[in-house]
């Protein structure tokens, strides 16, 4: 089925989604990007290609790319003990196996997120330092982060693990995670609508989509801010995320814009540790040339979905400003994904 045969306006109504934006990649290039619905319920402004959505956990894909870039540059090594790089805070030592960036990127580090942690920022308080958060000194993570199981022995999805990654990047370089992402990833890929912010730039305010709940009501504060950029702080557009995916596709072909090797991306999209489904910053289905790479974002007022077949040069990125309350595959995005499955999985697309 083609995109033209999908009635997206009808899906918006059926699933009570306020605004929707998507990008489609074919042969390693942007084929189409489309937008539907409203930036904010009850207002007239419509979603367009410049509208910013909270990527939530798709931020982890960007974090993984940045780490791989720093590894290519010799700043980091993904199989080194992370305490070699950590200065502002140290991962508590145990008698168990050393923890590496590979473990952290694939959610197999031995870290378990404390209950009730990593909620959106409360605007009446200051943005915490990452070292404070990891030490259990904030309302966003009330317990210190520590190792609770042998690294590499199990998979446990962890926002805390990506907070540790952010601290490693900052301690190893002496620079902020946000600035490095801009310099090493966003700028060279012309991802001009991608950013991390605690207070949005004034010039961008009119482009920010408001988040909505299951009933279609605008969430408190209009949109969430997550004070953990590497884990869930990215604001972007599907067409910008498409540029990141296209970089992965081209890097596999030996044509990276930012200096990523085919070996690095091949490592990113292969099974890690004791799981078949966990790559570095992404999730996997299938193997080899048939591998499907995915990442889902789900937070207060927003849901998103990225699915790519890097070896085939195809991908689909979708973002909404509505938390539908159901898994992406069971809602509007799932309908579109399954409708385009033949296109995404085709051996050749012309």
* Structure confidence by residue, pLDDT tens digits, 141-170: 889 999 999 999 999 999 999 999 999 999
Give me the chain's average pLDDT, please: 93
CA nearest to 253, candidates 241, 244, 263: 263
Range 10-38 average pLDDT: 96
What average pLDDT does this structure show over 91-97? 78
| pLDDT recorded at residue 139 | 84
Lowest mean pLDDT among 38-47, 83-92, 113-122, 214-223: 113-122
Pick the range with the lowest mean pLDDT from 57-66, 195-204, 335-344. Answer: 195-204
Residue % of the chain over a pLDDT of 70: 97
Tokens at 180, concatenated: 């490095």
Contacts of 199 (CB under 8 A, 6+ apart): none
Which of 7-21, 82-96, 202-216 holds the top average pLDDT? Answer: 7-21
Taking alpha carbons only, the member of 28, 47, 34 closest to residue 4 is 34
Q: If you average pLDDT over residues 284-311, what whole number do you get? A: 96
pLDDT at 346: 86
Report the pLDDT averaged over residues 129-142. 90
Contact 254, 266 (CB under 8 A): no
In angstroms, rounded to a whole number, what is the distance separating the alpha carbons of residues 62 and 133? 21
Instruction: Answer whether 0.75 is exceeded by the pTM.
Output: yes
pLDDT band at 9 (very low <50, low <70, confident <90, very high): very high
Q: What integer pLDDT is reported at residue 43 of this predicted model? A: 95
Q: 350 pLDDT band (50/70/90 cuts)? A: very low
Give residue 95's pLDDT band: very low, low, confident or very high (50, 70, 90): low
Q: What burial letters (b/e) apply to 139-169, b meaning 16+ CB within 10 Å?
A: ebbeeebbbeeebbebeeebbbbbbbbbbbb
- Number of neighbouring beta carbons within 10 Å of residue 116: 11
Residue 59 pLDDT > 80, yes or no? yes
**Per-residue pLDDT at 85:** 98
pLDDT at 93 over 50: yes
Would you state the pLDDT for residue 186?
A: 98
pLDDT at 213 over 50: yes
| pLDDT classification of 199: cutoffs 50, 70, 90 | confident
pLDDT of residue 349: 45
- Given a contact cutoff of 8 angstroms between Cβ atoms, the answer to whether 51 and 39 are in contact is yes
Q: What is the pLDDT of residue 1?
A: 60
pLDDT at 327: 95
Q: Confidence class of residue 138 from pLDDT cuts 50, 70 and 90?
A: confident
Q: What is the pLDDT of residue 53?
A: 97
CA distances from 121 to 55, 197, 229 (A): 16, 12, 12
> What is the pLDDT at residue 201?
78
Report the pLDDT averaged over residues 173-186: 97
| Biggest CA-to-CA distance, the chain | 59
């Amino acid at each position: 089925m083609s995109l033209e045969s999908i009635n997206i306006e009808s899906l918006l109504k059926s699933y009570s989604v306020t605004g929707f934006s998507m990008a489609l990649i074919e042969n390693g290039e942007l084929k189409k990007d489309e937008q539907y619905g409203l930036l904010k319920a009850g207002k007239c402004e419509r979603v367009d290609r410049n509208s910013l959505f909270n990527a939530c956990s798709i931020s982890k894909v960007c974090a993984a790319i940045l780490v791989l870039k720093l590894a290519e540059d010799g700043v980091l090594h993904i199989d080194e003990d992370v305490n070699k790089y950590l200065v502002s805070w140290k991962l508590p030592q145990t008698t168990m196996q050393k923890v590496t960036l590979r473990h952290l990127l694939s959610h197999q580090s031995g870290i378990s997120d404390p209950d009730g942690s990593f909620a959106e920022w409360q605007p009446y308080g200051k943005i915490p330092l990452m070292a404070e958060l990891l030490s259990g000194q904030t309302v966003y993570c009330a317990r210190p982060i520590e190792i609770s199981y042998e690294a590499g022995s199990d998979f446990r999805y962890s926002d805390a693990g990506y907070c540790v990654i952010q601290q490693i990047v900052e301690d190893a370089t002496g620079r902020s995670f946000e600035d490095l992402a801009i310099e090493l990833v966003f700028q060279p890929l012309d991802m001009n609508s991608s950013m991390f912010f605690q207070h949005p730039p004034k010039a961008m305010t009119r482009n920010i989509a408001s988040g909505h709940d299951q009933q279609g009501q605008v969430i408190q504060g209009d949109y969430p801010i997550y004070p953990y950029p590497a884990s869930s702080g990215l604001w972007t557009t599907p067409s910008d995320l498409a540029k990141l995916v296209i970089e992965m596709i081209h890097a596999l072909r030996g044509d990276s814009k930012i200096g990523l090797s085919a070996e690095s991306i091949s490592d990113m999209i292969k099974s890690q540790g004791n799981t078949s489904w966990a790559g570095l910053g992404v999730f996997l289905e299938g193997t080899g040339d048939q591998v499907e790479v995915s990442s889902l974002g789900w937070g207060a007022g927003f849901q998103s979905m990225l699915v790519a077949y890097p070896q085939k040069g195809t991908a689909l990125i979708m973002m909404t400003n509505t938390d539908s309350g159901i898994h992406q595959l069971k809602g509007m995005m799932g309908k579109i994904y399954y409708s385009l499955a033949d296109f995404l999985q085709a051996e050749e697309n012309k």
